[in-house]
Amino acid sequence: MARSNDEVAALFQEYADLISLTGGDAFRARAHEKAARSIGGYHADVATLDVQGLQEIPDVGRSVAEKIVEYLRDGRVAAVEELRARVPPGVRRLTAVPTLGPRKARVLHEELGISSVEELADAVRAERLRDLRGFGPKTEENILHGIELLRSAGDRVLLDVAADLAEDIVGRLAEVSGCSRCACAGSLRRVRETIGDIDVLAAAEDSAPLMRAFTELPYVTEVIAHGTTKTSVRTTEGLAVDLRVVPPESWGAALQYFTGSRAHNIRLRERAVHLGLKLSEYGLFDAETGSRIASRTEEDVYAGLGLPWIPPPLREDRGEIEAGLAGTLPRPVTEADLRGDLHTHTDLTDGLAPLQEMVAAAADRGYAYYAVTDHGPALSMQRMTDERMLDQRARLRALDGRYGRRRGGLRLLHGAELNIDPDGGVDWPEDFLAGFDLCVASVHSHFRQDRAALTRRLVRACEHPCVDIIGHPTTRLIGKRPGIDVDLDAVFEACARTGTVLEINARPERLDLRDEDILRARRYGVRFAVNSDAHSTRHLATLRFGIGTAQRGWLTAGDVVNTWPLTRLRRHLARGRPKRRPDSR
DNA sequence: GCCGTTTTCGGCCCGACTGTTTTCAGTCG
């Protein structure tokens, strides 16, 4: 379940929103927002800190520290409750509609009494927004479009939210007496990018103790269905969770069945029928005699169908069964294959942790190498200068090889995340860029250029001799912003031609490239990098979601450059680059 | 509400874009 830090961060983010929505001081709102972000990214658990220790967290002063203590002690904060009483929860939800911020939401609530997304949609259609100052026909259009985007995300949650909850549930249920196995199945096990409901599977002779423990979980708010083989609940976050309990001898068949996907299972059952067998969640049986052929492990079930075990992220009926039969199933890249992270930030730009903390955390993860890639000066929200970047490089060189248990220590690469401007140009002239070990280049604005312009823009970036990796290539934000309208095939072709690597950005709200695009890109012979884009030490671990996405794209370790040894990686980065000038560090 | 080689008050990232205005407010990154 969420750490105290995440809970507290969510609380202050809500408080900040409520301050804005009630017309409070904008700087006060911003201060709480900064505190929330800082707390969320802080390495130590706030529950272990006192008021003084809490104030060590950047952007946390006396007032916030005391509120944290109040929250951890009472489970509530009076100041937050006071504002909650004034703003219906639906009003806060309005700001989730893209292009609708706190000021407009406040006007809608105060002038028209709108307090939910549904009421907003009705009001727009009834043309009730027309008379409001600052609301024109284009605003109406944007709001309707935003609502549509919001709805297309549905009630699904991002992977990290679902994974945290599911792992907590599995951990607790595994402790229940009589439970022999427990694991999550469903789309979470297949690492789909969003999760609609969580499927948990357990094996036990007697299901009653598990079902009881499940309904008594602290964050369960509603029991939707309660039986001996299946129980469904809803959690405080509105997520539906199903628990199914099967006899231990059916474990493998049940895990296979409940992992899906539906399309994959249909294909398997068809194959079973073809072989004179019958496949269900209880096992693989002889269709005539009904005798059990396999059910204890997934491997047994697949073997009974003449197939190798298929990794869950591949189970989408996208050719995995044919590949399994032909013996050409790829061995997907795993987290253990990764030797480093090639896109990360520090507090030099918009990261939360100083260089040394990020490096130490990377070393703890056992990496062989690690790249620091803060933003260049083109992003106006940053304050980057040549001097600050070179100073960071000197500090990074001093830390090179000094961390980690590996021989030679953790090797550090100095990089930058460049901004791809509307014409496809990037920050800094070539001679300055040549001083970096690697450059990530990404689109951060002007998302609405037409397809031709966007395609030219990305292809030009690929062709730049110093651009090694295209960061979050489509810039989509799941449920918030669609990807840019770009001819990806042209980009893939350019990447393959120039050796430019495509990023699989592992942040749960991005997962960019996404699996379908990866499947296409790999046909062009493109290489990939699975990167965390970490802005705090805690983000480093999100790499697992990027790996899941890479697996869904059928990538092997060889396709992913940050599984390569450093010498091979360096050789690849050096291709086509201008020679460094002798004076560049 | 936080912070400090502008330090206990007076700033707070800031520029681009969009849409609604006719000089600016809101949103976003």
Residue range A338-351, pLDDT digits in tens: 999 999 999 998 88
For residue A236, pLDDT over 80 is answered with no
- The answer to whether the C-beta of A420 is closer than 7 A to strand B is no
For residue A147, pLDDT over 70 is answered with yes
Which of the four pLDDT bands, split at 50, 70 and 90, describes residue A380? low
Whole-structure pTM value: 0.84
Q: Which residues 208-237 of chain A have a CB under 7 Å from nucleic chain B? A: none
Cβ contact A101:A95 at 8 Å: yes
- The answer to whether the C-beta of A444 is closer than 7 A to strand B is yes
Q: What percent of chain A has pLDDT over 90?
A: 66
What value does the mean pLDDT take over residues A87-113? 89
Report cis status (omega within 30 of 0) of the bond before A513.
yes
Please report, as a single letter, which amino acid is at residue A228: T
Specify the higher pLDDT residue, A223 or A333: A333
Lowest mean pLDDT among A68-82, A114-128, A440-454, A565-579: A565-579
Q: Tell me the pLDDT of chain A averaged across its residues.
A: 90
So what's the pLDDT on residue A173? 95
Residue with tokens 């062009």: A524
Through-space separation of residue A18 CA and nucleotide B2 C1' in angstroms: 19
- The answer to whether the C-beta of A445 is closer than 7 A to strand B is yes
Specify the higher pLDDT residue, A405 or A506: A506
What value does the mean pLDDT take over residues A473-488? 88
CB atoms within 10 A of CB A180: 12
Identify the residue whose Cα has the smallest distance to the C1' of B13: A381
Strand partners, A244: A201, A230
- Give the pairing of strands A197-203 and A240-246: parallel
Q: Which residues 43-82 of chain A have a CB under 7 Å from nucleic chain B? A: 55, 58-65, 79
Q: What share of chain A is helix, strand, coil (3-state, %, to 5)?
A: 45, 15, 40
- The answer to whether the C-beta of A180 is closer than 7 A to strand B is no
Through-space separation of residue A496 CA and nucleotide B6 C1' in angstroms: 51
Through-space separation of residue A570 CA and nucleotide B25 C1' in angstroms: 49
Q: Which residues 8-47 of chain A have a CB under 7 Å from nucleic chain B? A: 25, 27-28, 30-32, 35
Q: What Rg do the C-alpha atoms of chain A give, in angstroms?
A: 26
Report cis status (omega within 30 of 0) of the bond before A261.
yes
Q: CA-to-CA distance for A294 and A249, rounded, in angstroms? A: 9
Which of the four pLDDT bands, split at 50, 70 and 90, describes residue A469? very high
Instruction: Kindly report the bases of strand B lying within 7 A of a protein C-beta atom.
Output: 1-3, 11-21, 25-29
So what's the pLDDT on residue A2? 56
3-class SS string, A296-359 = CCHHHHHHHCCCCCCCHHHCCCCCHHHHHHHCCCCCECCHHHCCEECCECCCCCCCCCCHHHHH
- The answer to whether the C-beta of A103 is closer than 7 A to strand B is yes
So what's the pLDDT on residue A584? 40
- The answer to whether the C-beta of A136 is closer than 7 A to strand B is yes
For residue A404, pLDDT over 80 is answered with yes
Structure tokens given for A34: 């900064």
A37-94 pLDDT, tens digit per residue, is 888 878 788 999 999 999 998 889 999 999 999 999 999 999 999 999 999 888 998 9
Through-space separation of residue A398 CA and nucleotide B28 C1' in angstroms: 37
Which of the four pLDDT bands, split at 50, 70 and 90, describes residue A439? very high
Identify the residue whose Cα has the smallest distance to the C1' of B15: A380
- The answer to whether the C-beta of A446 is closer than 7 A to strand B is yes
So what's the pLDDT on residue A582? 42
Which of the four pLDDT bands, split at 50, 70 and 90, describes residue A331? very high
In chain A the domains, ranked by start, together with CATH numbers, are 4-153 (1.10.150.110), 157-246 (3.30.460.10), 252-326 (3.30.210.10), 339-573 (3.20.20.140)
Through-space separation of residue A139 CA and nucleotide B24 C1' in angstroms: 16
Q: CA-to-CA distance for A71 and A163, rounded, in angstroms? A: 25
What value does the mean pLDDT take over residues A411-429? 94
- The answer to whether the C-beta of A101 is closer than 7 A to strand B is yes
For residue A226, pLDDT over 80 is answered with yes
A237-291 pLDDT, tens digit per residue, is 777 899 999 999 999 999 999 998 888 888 898 889 888 998 988 899 998 888 8
Which of the four pLDDT bands, split at 50, 70 and 90, describes residue A322? confident
